[in-house]
Structure 1
Amino acid sequence: MSGRGKGPLAGVKVLDLTSVLMGPYATQIFADLGADVIKVESPQGDTTRFIPPGPDPSRGAMFLNANRGKRSLAMDLKQPEARAALLRLAQDADVFIHSMRSRAISRLGLGYPALRETNPQIIYANLYGFARGGPYRDYPAYDDIVQAASGIVDLQARLSGGEPTYAATVIADKVAGLTGAYSVLAALYARERTGIGQEIEVPMFETLVSFAMVEHLCGSLFVPPEGPPEYPRVTSEARRPYRTADGYIGVMIYNDKHWQAFFDVLGNPEWSRDPMFASMRSRTHNIGKVLAKVAEVIATRTTDDWFALFRQAQIPAMPITSLNDLLHDPHLVETGFWQERETPCGTLRFPGIPTTFSETPGAIGDPGPALGEDSQAILAEAGFTADEIARLLESGAVKAAV
């Protein structure tokens, strides 16, 4: 079932020293798209292995999904023999990616200079909490910490009565992981044109600040500021799913065409001629009042009534769907998004690859591997002799699955 060699990244070799979720999400994308991702773990394993549920206590559900399609090489990189073996593996690798703090990876002697000396064409990616050029460089960082530091928690507080809350998804990890993935792919493309490898830095904090400020920089784009850093439409207390006569509905009446269609299905009532509805600018200036009026109107009809009207008027609207509902969503079922597999860990349901390629489609690989499952095979492929592998195993520099 392995997806290696199936996809636009077929033939790309990745040494993956990431753990938890940010880095593993980036390298999951590489594996889904055909790269040979070698997950280099400590003898204790990635901590995410041990997060339940799952019948195997060393491979919980999150680990099995985030590390699908990868191979596991367990090494004690504090031992010189393990470091030397990893550098030898790097000689023909395309990508080296890690999620340790800058000081920690340097202590292991595995900073960019060491990898560049081994392989001048390697793409070396640092994924960590804070850029190494600033005073936060050595702070530990996890998703909650970066949500707090990046403005996301403060934004959430605007919608929860002033009480700071985290987004109900590990948004910092995943946005930084996606950023890491596209950064590595851009560097691989540049190498194809120039033949030159390079080092990449993807700090979670700066990535999330950039992410938040896409819309929220607003008036503070200008110097001096023409307004605060806040996009008022999305922080308005009135921006929420609308209550209907019998439930809730998600509706986005956004541009002028949507608004005119909305007024038309209502019979163009007198209040629709209020100047605050006239343009994007006037609606934004009066967003609280505008959304409150919509809420008042939506409450007068049932959810099904509104869906019929909104589909007719081509106004964006969808039901409020739970995660459990998504497991049986008719659109996802028909498109084949959910993929069930018989594996040594039982029958597993994987979310599919969300992107499609007409000529080089990827494939979902095997579930996240057992710790050290592929250690011996990976070393043998790299030209290590049986005696060399035996010595590495005996010394504890390398661990193989039991």
Structure 2
Amino acid sequence: MSESMPSINKALEGVRVLDFTQIGAGPLAGMQMGDMGAEVIKVEAPSGDIGRKLGPPWQNGESVVSMCFNRNKRSLIVDLKKPGGAALIQELAKTSDVVLESFRPGVMDRLGIGYEALRAINPKIVFASVSAYGQTGPWRDKPGVDGIVQAVSGLMSNIGDENSPPMKVLVPAVDMVTGFLTTSTVMAALRVVESTGLGQHLDMSLYNSAIMFQQSAIASYLSSGEKPIRIGTAAPYSAPNEAYPTKDGWIMIAAYHDDRWPALCKLLNKPDLATHPDFATIPLRVANRKKLMTELTVLLASKTSAEWQALMEAEDIICGPIADYDMVMDSPQLKHNGLIVETPNAIAGTVKMPGLAVGDRNAQSRVRYGPPTLGEHSCEVLTEYGLTEAQIKALLDDGIVVQRKTDK
């Protein structure tokens, strides 16, 4: 596509976002909006986003965990505990479009910058609250993070195999899903602003996201009344659709379709398996999964993952090696797609991370701003919001605003 064609990385140009969120879900949403062209101001306390303390790894004292959620933002330090802090945010909200926050429910209200207070100033404001369990309900005031919500939402009970204890998804899956949902919901709310002139308060919770994330598993449970069992890499609704050991590693095979199952059996020189009374249909293969896995495990141990992949792909059998991150980073598809971007940081130097990878090739991340150091852009941001030098100096003198000392 031509460089002059429209691209979603400019979709939110002109949108101003005040981002009060911390750690994972909320910061991810703010970063995605920044990737799509919004001007995202990361509003932090003098102590900074809690996520800045998470690690290892670190690069020159900067948390890589924090940086990977905060590209395309600028950092403004505002001490909301000082008189005048709330008044400053109220002033900025007059010309902002979106507020993201992830305090416990009620905190923003107590600070004087909750939805009702800001709506009175700017009726168009879209105010997204990201919390563990939501703004209402019996669990409203409970603290929660990704791992805890993986536990209480049922997700953790389904991960692993029959011989393992419950397991957590290593990546913060609930944070990531909540961030993605927050981005799309805010964009939908901005569309409503265009048509009605009115903003709204969006209640985004890790818990709700975790339940939606388990759409098929929960729907299956509600239909059958049967709790899912831990079956490792397998899919509960089809077989063979799991990982198998090979001569040098593991390969994931999805050969459950009516045409691919016989093709796999033929490739393995066991055509009779395709019509075996225990394996002839998907329901039979699911019911006899253990027996099927035993049969296939013996056959697949004779070749390497790469050898099997070449043979299976030639027969249009869906498969792929279980790759570690060394293999992923060396993937020709990852390189072709340009999935890794380099972002600058005043302390850490260059930081590599996955970029925005949706839409057409023109939509890939523009790194306008690297992950900001704490308070890196305080004065710059306030100037752009229209504050005078005298007003900014007064805020600095009163300690309401802090500018990182190493900046000019």
Same fold by TM-score greater than 0.5:
yes
Matches within 5 A, 1:8-87: 8-51=11-54, 52-57=56-61, 59-87=62-90
Q: Provide TM-score, normalisation by structure 2.
A: 0.88
Offset of residue 262 of structure 1: 1.5
Offset of residue 180 of structure 1: 1.0
Give the aligned partner of residue 226 of structure 2.
228
Taking a change above 3 Å as real, the CA distance of residues 124 and 366 of structure 1, as seen in their structure-2 partners, is same
> Could you tell me the percent identity over the aligned residues?
33
Q: Distance in 1 between matches of 2:372 and 2:307?
A: 49
Give the aligned partner of residue 215 of structure 1.
216
Structure 1 residue 270 and structure 2 residue 272: aligned? Answer: yes
2:127 aligned residue (120, 124, 127): 124
Q: Distance in 2 between matches of 1:81 and 1:347?
A: 36
2:324 aligned residue (317, 322, 327): 322
Moved more, 74-83 or 290-299: 290-299
Q: Distance in 2 between matches of 1:401 and 1:67?
A: 17
Q: 1:318 aligns to what SS in structure 2?
A: strand
The letter of the residue matching 1:65 is C
Q: Distance in 2 between matches of 1:96 and 1:341?
A: 25
Contact 2:357 2:364 in 1 (8 A): no
Give the aligned partner of residue 356 of structure 1.
359
The letter of the residue matching 2:60 is D
Q: Provide TM-score, normalisation by structure 1.
A: 0.89
Offset of residue 91 of structure 1: 0.9
The letter of the residue matching 1:269 is P
Matches within 5 A, 1:132-171: 132-156=135-159, 158-159=160-161, 161-171=163-173
Q: What is the CA RMSD across the aligned residues, in angstroms?
A: 2.5
Give the aligned partner of residue 100 of structure 2.
97
Taking a change above 3 Å as real, the CA distance of residues 277 and 136 of structure 1, as seen in their structure-2 partners, is same
Contact 1:238 1:288 in 2 (8 A): no
Moved more, 369-378 or 350-359: 350-359
Q: Distance in 1 between matches of 2:378 and 2:75?
A: 6
Offset of residue 46 of structure 1: 0.7
Moved more, 299-308 or 6-15: 299-308
Give CA-to-partner distance per residue, 1:287-308, whole Å, 9 cap, x none.
3433443333322433233112
Q: Distance in 2 between matches of 1:381 and 1:371?
A: 18
Matches within 5 A, 1:337-348: 337-340=339-342, 344=346, 345-348=348-351
Q: Distance in 1 between matches of 2:219 and 2:373?
A: 48
Contact 1:218 1:228 in 2 (8 A): no
Offset of residue 174 of structure 1: 0.9
Q: Distance in 1 between matches of 2:344 and 2:401?
A: 30
Q: Distance in 2 between matches of 1:235 and 1:368?
A: 41
The letter of the residue matching 1:228 is E
Contact 1:8 1:361 in 2 (8 A): no
Offset of residue 338 of structure 1: 2.3
Q: Distance in 2 between matches of 1:218 and 1:204?
A: 19
The letter of the residue matching 1:216 is A
Contact 1:215 1:230 in 2 (8 A): no
Contact 2:103 2:131 in 1 (8 A): yes
Taking a change above 3 Å as real, the CA distance of residues 399 and 94 of structure 1, as seen in their structure-2 partners, is same
Bigger relative contact order, structure 1 or 2 (CA pairs below 8 A, ≥6 apart): 1
Q: Distance in 2 between matches of 1:387 and 1:127?
A: 35
Matches within 5 A, 1:366-381: 366-381=369-384
Taking a change above 3 Å as real, the CA distance of residues 300 and 365 of structure 1, as seen in their structure-2 partners, is same
The letter of the residue matching 1:217 is I
Taking a change above 3 Å as real, the CA distance of residues 343 and 387 of structure 1, as seen in their structure-2 partners, is closer
The letter of the residue matching 1:56 is N
Q: 1:78 aligns to what SS in structure 2?
A: coil
Contact 1:7 1:361 in 2 (8 A): no
Contact 1:159 1:235 in 2 (8 A): no
Contact 2:71 2:367 in 1 (8 A): yes
The count of residues paired between Structure 1 and Structure 2 equals 392
Q: 1:96 aligns to what SS in structure 2?
A: strand
Offset of residue 385 of structure 1: 1.9
Moved more, 122-131 or 308-317: 308-317
Matches within 5 A, 1:163-242: 163-212=165-214, 214-222=215-223, 226-230=224-228, 234=235, 240-242=242-244
Q: Distance in 1 between matches of 2:220 and 2:361?
A: 42
Give the aligned partner of residue 258 of structure 2.
256
Give CA-to-partner distance per residue, 1:215-270, whole Å, 9 cap, x none.
21244434xxx331438753699975211234321222232232132133235622
Structure 1 residue 336 and structure 2 residue 334: aligned? Answer: no
